């Protein structure tokens, strides 16, 4: 019995996984270098929040650090703590800022809080009074109406001669609301507002542009840009050919191929009725894995406005989703493939180089950001490096 078990020890779990996720770290770092070039005189940071957009903050963060990134943005202190060993001397900015109870982990891991409200600012001042000098960043709302000190609050703070000397922000930043639409007047309005803020904090780094803002041009770059979705291969600007390299590929194993007669139904709610004898491939992925139910071919509200549902890729062809996507399973119609082209055990690409993540998003009525950050926990991961 022991010899039998030992014979399996060298098998790669990726080769037999029901769900596989391949992350091309070379494409990731090339995308960062591309955004760094587009940022021109500004430095390019790397946004790695939400587990590096679903790609894995440890591996992706380390790859970006090795490529030259020295400024990172995360959403939470926990994310910053996870990233720190992989970006040892980088500046790591925590976008959610600081809250009571997070001080120790923030300081021990040399994380920089982004202060976004008067309440956070008051607490930060109290922390400085107890712990002494420590860097922070200031987030200023220039029209987004999401997070940030108001313009008046930020400029008054810059001019406040009574503020303690230990209060020493190293970055002032804001966020564009409409940078994915280059024709929007909002971009120019926010730029002019941010210029006022930047001038009030002369000598301190300024940052306005995330991925889409970088494509708006040098006026928006200031000292530091913050590329996020573009690093992971996603579209960031509407109505523009995406220049970024695909980074992530998700595949699901075919569990069964079955033949179904014309007139029969497929899946929950009998949402799809077959108009011909069909062959269906059932794969081991569903909405629990981030393959959103709204991509179903029928039986969901979105199909009333976006006629076509999701597609996979197998045996050199795109194949449509059939019926409703369920929690753990999705059905693809492979009737148009040669009869022996697919069999149980083969893999269908859910998104990747052949089915772009943003095309998947459009069929689901959402954006590539949501597809990537919804990747579930059941994927076996493989990271590709240039030497691979």
The domains of the chain, with CATH numbers, are: 39-232 (3.20.20.10), 248-384 (2.40.37.10)
186 is in an annotated binding site: no
Expressed in angstroms, the distance from the first to the final Cα of the chain is 35
Q: What pLDDT score does 1 carry?
A: 46
Question: Which is nearest to 211 in space by CA: 203, 221, 219?
Answer: 221
Q: CB under 8 Å to 60, separation ≥6 — which residues?
A: 23, 25, 28, 48, 52
pLDDT reported for residue 307: 84
Cα dist. 336→39, 279, 361 in Å? 46, 9, 24
Q: Is residue 86 annotated as a catalytic residue, yes or no?
A: no
Does 318 qualify as catalytic in the annotation? no
Predicted TM-score of the model (pTM): 0.94
Residue 146 annotated in ligand binding: yes
Task: Say which residues have a Cβ less than 8 Å from residue 273's Cβ, sequence separation at least 6.
Answer: 263, 264, 265, 266
Q: Which of 86, 232, 268, 318 is catalytic?
A: 268
Indicate which residue of 33, 49, 261, 318 is catalytic.
49
User: Which residues are within 8 A (CB) of 77 and not within 5 positions of it... i.e. 6 or more apart?
Assistant: 94, 96, 98, 102, 105, 106, 109, 111
In the block, which residue shows the tokens 């039986």? 299
Rg (CA), the chain: 24
What is the structure's pLDDT at 7? 55
Burial group, residue 248, by CB count within 10 angstroms (0-12, 13-18, 19+) = buried
Task: Report the chain (388 residues): mean pLDDT per 10 consecutive residues.
Answer: 55 93 98 98 98 98 98 98 98 96 95 97 93 94 97 94 85 98 97 97 97 98 98 96 97 98 95 96 97 94 88 98 97 96 97 97 95 94 83
How many H helices and E strands in the chain?
13, 19
Q: How far is CA 379 from CA 83, 131, 228, 285, in A?
A: 21, 43, 22, 9
**What is the pLDDT, as a whole number, of residue 5?**
54
Look at the alpha carbons of 215, 217, 218, 219 in this order and tell me if their dihedral is positive or negative.
negative
């Amino acid at each position: 019995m022991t010899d039998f078990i030992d014979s399996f020890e060298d098998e790669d779990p990726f080769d037999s996984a029901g769900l596989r996720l391949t992350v091309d770290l070379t494409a990731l770092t090339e995308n960062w270098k591309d955004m760094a070039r587009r940022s021109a005189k500004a430095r390019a940071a790397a946004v790695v929040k939400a587990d590096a957009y679903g790609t894995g903050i440890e591996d992706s963060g380390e790859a970006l650090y090795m490529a030259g990134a020295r400024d990172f943005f995360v959403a939470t202190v926990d994310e910053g703590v996870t990233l720190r060993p992989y970006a040892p001397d980088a500046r790591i900015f925590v976008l959610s800022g600081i809250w009571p109870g997070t001080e120790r982990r923030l300081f021990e891991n040399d994380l920089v809080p982004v202060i976004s409200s008067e309440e956070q600012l008051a607490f930060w001042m109290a922390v400085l009074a107890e712990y002494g000098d420590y860097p922070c960043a200031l987030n200023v709302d220039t029209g987004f109406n999401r997070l940030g000190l108001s313009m008046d609050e930020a400029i008054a703070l810059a001019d406040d001669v009574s503020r303690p000397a230990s209060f020493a922000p190293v970055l002032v930043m804001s966020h564009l609301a409409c940078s994915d639409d280059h024709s929007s007047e909002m971009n120019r309005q926010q730029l002019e507002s941010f210029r006022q803020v930047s001038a009030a904090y002369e000598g301190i780094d300024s940052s306005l542009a995330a991925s889409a803002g970088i494509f708006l041009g040098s006026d928006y770059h200031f000292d530091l840009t913050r590329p996020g979705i573009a690093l992971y291969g996603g579209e960031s600007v509407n109505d523009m050919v995406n220049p970024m390299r695909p980074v992530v590929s998700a595949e699901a194993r075919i569990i069964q191929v079955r033949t179904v007669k014309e007139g029969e139904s497929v899946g929950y709610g009998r949402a799809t009725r077959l108009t011909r004898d069909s062959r269906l491939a059932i794969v081991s992925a569903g909405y629990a894995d981030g393959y959103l139910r709204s991509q179903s071919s029928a039986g969901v509200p979105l199909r009333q406005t976006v006629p076509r549902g999701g597609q996979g890729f197998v045996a050199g062809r795109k194949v449509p989703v059939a019926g409703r996507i369920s929690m753990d399973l999705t059905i693809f119609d492979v009737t148009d493939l040669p009869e022996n082209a697919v069999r149980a055990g083969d893999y269908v690409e859910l998104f990747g180089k052949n089915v772009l993540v943003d095309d998947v998003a459009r069929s689901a009525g959402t954006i590539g950001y949501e597809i990537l950050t919804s990747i579930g926990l059941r994927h076996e991961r493989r990271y590709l490096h240039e030497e691979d």
